A and B are shown apart, each in its own frame.
Chain A
Amino acid sequence: MNAHAPIPTADAGCGVTIRQERGQRAVFCGLTGIVWLHRKIQDAFFLVVGSRTCAHLIQSAAGVMIFAEPRFATAIIDERDLAGLADMNEELDRVTRRLIERRPDIRLLFLVGSCPSEVIKLDLPRAAQRLSQSFAPDVRVLSYSGSGIETTFTQGEDACLAALVPELPRTAAEAAPSLLVVGALADVVEDQFARLFAEMGLEHVAFLPARRAGAMPAVGPNTRILLAQPFLADTARALEARGATRLPAPFPLGAEGTTAWLRAAADAFDVEPGRFADATAPGLRRAEQALAPYRALLGGRRVFFFPDSQLELPLARFLSREMGATLIEVGTPYLHRGHMAPELALLPAGTEVVEGQSLDAQMDRCRTARPDLTVCGLGLANPLEAEGLATKWSIELLFTPIQGYDQAGDLAELFARPLVRRTRLEV
């Protein structure tokens, strides 16, 4: 689904080198997306069809959240299923029925494919169709793949949202142009953006995913989509297939990114420049004020990004342009040339972008460069700290509200905190 044919090494045309690397990858699989997605869609349940490893992964990623009656679980394939002693489709139906009986509040059920279910070619889309019919009209059942062989970390959200797109209602042909903001955002951030668009005078603004299964937005040829997250390749393609038009923009990280992102929508809806300035001025002023103290801490710091979420390019752009940091290497698990074009155009000339990973080689480059700050996953963070490198663990950037004006200071603080901590500790 998300495995893309390698594109030959190309210069993006703005002095940024993009290199591809293959080898061992230290990244999460797409199942991890469930951990934040289930909190966003409040009446959805995510049932992974996989192995004990999948259940163990989600448990490790979800931490203590697993006990608060979360809306996700794993149907563990066992040897009886594999040996053909049990009909796997019947087993899946049985497990799902038991689940729906226990959780009658569920309106939308996602069957989430894993590496084992993909490799044995269990037909989850068909199972979803079958179960949808048997639970209609109370529960809709959809499927997508969050397997490691096909998705990396945040691509799980992409696959999930892309599965929702064909189900979205169609807008009337004569409907007024509408704006659809795509990508799961923290509720507080979503509300801030909704207010900003309202102040600009945009009347028809919706968010995908919606907070409830029954309230998903409509889509059609009059829909303009604005991606709030950089990892939504398949979702954007599915929306475009339904006639929607994507508005190219950098991503709303930092003051500059947020303004440019909002401006893309304002321009598409012919918002008068004065009105745009009035709507954005207070946020911009607050963001500038919040960012100022962190410039002294982050300015001139040399930063190295390991690949993780596809947020690396916009984050690097924010750190370099707004905080004055120097970029050593920006790793990303996957780079969508089209969606990233506005970001690439803003990166300083000479930035080394590496798509994919060969873990040991990349760690060698990192050790040689001895960056002031290394952004990486939790499997690498403590080992690099033990080698004397300051690190910022990257997963936090997915769970913390970081988009928009009023989170710009928090975003800078996330990077500044490990550096501040090192100056404080005397042991």
Chain B
Amino acid sequence: MQLTLWTYEGPPHIGAMRVATAMRGLHYVLHAPQGDTYADLLFTMIERRDARPPVTYTTFQARDLGADTAAIFQTAVSDAYARFRPEAMIVGASCTAELIQDDPGGLARALDLPIPVIPLELPAYQKKENWGASETFYRLVRALAGPKAEPAPRAGRRPLCNILGPTALGFRHRDDLVEIEKLLGALGIDVNVVAPWGASPADLGRLSAADFNVVLYPEIARAAAQHLQKTFGQPMVETVPIGVGATIRFVEEVAALANVDPAPVLAGAPSRLPWYSRSVDSTYLTGKRVFIFGDATHALAIARVAAAELGFKVVGLGTYTREFAREVRAEAALHGIEATITDDYLDVEAAIQAAGAELVLGTQMERHIAKRLGVPCAVISAPIHVQDFPARHSPKMGFEGANVLFDTLVHPLMMGLEEHLLGMFREDAEFHDGAAPSHLPRHGTAPSVPAAVEPAAPAIEIPLTAPPSDDAPAAWEASAEKELKKIPFFVRGKARANTERFARERALSRITVETLYDAKAHFGR
């Protein structure tokens, strides 16, 4: 047993629902007790879908347990077929139905429906949501993709590819797809089938007509793409085009497979990120300590963007996707750190604290951890709340995705710096508790400045009468105090602390102007 408060992933049948809900013409009959329909509202509320997911639940109750549940399941399958007339069905059990050991596949087969009915084995006590999505998509592709279509000879036609991976409830899947289709279009490549997003079972039957496959989210589509590679000899591109560098690599790889010229697509400045990152305003981002946690796809990609494209220092990297632990460990090693592979948010919280991060990039959960720790944060991976299914176009992939990433990753820091200044210079006229954030307009009268400016933080003043102790700070000479005031206000606090530490370590009894500059030389980077 595992004590759990928060879970990063749902059970595997939620993954199956994500695939079914993404598709058209497919229906999922889920053998599950009353109450499991809660999952519908993830799709209707968080993703704001305008239709119920194509899922029929058997919703059995205690009085049905016994021989009855198998009959209930068969009735549900027949009724769902009669009502929805799907092109194909998937059937399976949720965690409780797994225990009562009805056989959904066998029971459905016995009904002899005139459509493909694909049974799913989703071990609910071992596996989780993303695995469930991957397995479901793989089973669907295995059952429906074939036979091998003989593609027309390449000469005289445009190259053709499939895009695999986007699902319902995916983090920015909707907008990533738009960017990728735009890139492929610009390269002169046609899209054969996008799946599962928007695909019908018949569309899966046409997968083999493509020249190659583009895998956008490996944890969902790698297994299916490997199957297609083995069965139809379709090569795959698995570079996740998140960030400028990765997008360029992606374009080059796709262009090589399609035998087209990538140069026109890469010409000019397709993303604003490089210039924004080089502009002097971004200098203060250098070496910012960043902790990254999320699903494997996003954690890996964002770590590269953070280090190579924004100049951050990656001080923590981890994932809850155990299936990709090896990749994440290897990436972490490149940053000289050890990866955090866990699905326990308390471990993540401890790792964030231990790493001393100045920025956290993670899931909804890390947003709350960061809030508690008072560290700036941006969301880069599922699980996510409703606000991360935005109305506006907001991709993470491609060149526009890189623009979005720059804004997303830098915005909380701007806010963080501002908050920091407000906290540190409470006594200054322009930075006091009542001052409005600088990016908000003032309405009418200016906020009232405290009439008498209170001396800042009296709590940290050490009374002169205090008994001497080992860590009592040395006294500041008046001249040194005056010199300190000349230091720009935004580093004054740090200078004071460093000087006192310097004096303490050398057991100096008084701080002079000399001490101040000795400390500066000692600590200066």
* Residue positions of A touching B, CB distance < 8 A: 3, 5, 24-32, 49, 51-53, 55-57, 59-61, 63-64, 66-67, 70, 72-79, 81-82, 86, 88, 91-92, 94-95, 98-99, 115-116, 118-120, 147-150, 152, 360, 377-383, 385-386
* Interface-side segment among B4-12, B253-261, B434-442: B4-12
* Interface-side segment among B43-51, B156-164, B182-190, B464-472: B43-51
| Complex partner residue of A60 from B42, B49, B65, CB under 8 angstroms | B42
Query: Which chain B residues border A152 with CB–CB below 8 Å?
Result: 34-35
Query: Which chain B residues border A148 with CB–CB below 8 Å?
Result: 33-36, 59, 61, 96
Closest chain B residue, CB of each to CB of A378: B41
Query: Which chain A residues border B59 with CB–CB below 8 Å?
Result: 24-27, 148
Cβ-defined contact, B79 with A360, below 8 A: yes
Query: Which chain A residues border B361 with CB–CB below 8 Å?
Result: none
Query: Which chain A residues border B39 with CB–CB below 8 Å?
Result: 56, 60
Docked CA distance A208–B148 (Å): 68
- Distance in angstroms from B525 CB to nearest chain A CB is 37
- Additional 4 contacts, C-beta under 8 A, given A66-B6, A148-B34: A72-B5, A119-B65, A149-B96, A380-B44
Cβ-defined contact, B95 with A51, below 8 A: yes
**Is chain B's interface secondary structure helix, strand, loop, or mixed overall?**
mixed
Contacts across chains A and B counted by CB atoms under 8 Å: 183
* Interface-side segment among B119-127, B289-297, B397-405: B119-127
Closest chain A residue, CB of each to CB of B64: A149
| Complex partner residue of B62 from A74, A116, A149, CB under 8 angstroms | A149
Cβ-defined contact, A74 with B99, below 8 A: no
Within residues 64 to 103 of chain B, which ones have a CB less than 8 A from any CB in chain A?
64-65, 76, 79, 83, 94-96, 99-100
**Is chain A's interface secondary structure helix, strand, loop, or mixed overall?**
helix
Docked CA distance A52–B45 (Å): 21
- Distance in angstroms from A121 CB to nearest chain B CB is 10
* Known pairs A61-B38, A115-B35, A148-B33; A52 contacts B48 (CB<8 A): no
Docked CA distance A172–B459 (Å): 57
Query: Which chain B residues border A29 with CB–CB below 8 Å?
Result: 33-36, 38
Within residues 422 to 466 of chain B, which ones have a CB less than 8 A from any CB in chain A?
none
Query: Which chain B residues border A381 with CB–CB below 8 Å?
Result: 44
Cβ-defined contact, B2 with A56, below 8 A: no
* Known pairs A51-B96, A115-B96; A378 contacts B33 (CB<8 A): no
Docked CA distance A115–B11 (Å): 14
Query: Which chain A residues border B2 with CB–CB below 8 Å?
Result: 75-76, 78, 95
B58 contacts chain A at the CB level, 8 A cutoff: yes
Query: Which chain A residues border B61 with CB–CB below 8 Å?
Result: 3, 148-150
Query: Which chain A residues border B1 with CB–CB below 8 Å?
Result: 49, 75-78, 81, 86, 88, 91-92, 94-95
Closest chain B residue, CB of each to CB of A145: B62
* Known pairs A95-B3, A147-B33, A149-B34; A378 contacts B11 (CB<8 A): no
- Distance in angstroms from B236 CB to nearest chain A CB is 30
* Known pairs A51-B95, A79-B123, A116-B96; A25 contacts B37 (CB<8 A): yes
A70, A76, A380, most chain B CB atoms within 10 A? A76
Cβ-defined contact, B51 with A28, below 8 A: no
| Complex partner residue of A82 from B37, B50, B125, CB under 8 angstroms | B125
Q: List 5 A-B contacts (CB under 8 A).
A: A53-B96, A53-B124, A95-B2, A115-B33, A383-B49
Docked CA distance A49–B3 (Å): 9
Query: Which chain B residues border A150 with CB–CB below 8 Å?
Result: 61-62
Cβ-defined contact, A59 with B6, below 8 A: yes
B238 contacts chain A at the CB level, 8 A cutoff: no
- Distance in angstroms from A307 CB to nearest chain B CB is 11
Query: Which chain A residues border B100 with CB–CB below 8 Å?
Result: 119
Query: Which chain B residues border A78 with CB–CB below 8 Å?
Result: 1-2, 125-126
Cβ-defined contact, A79 with B35, below 8 A: no
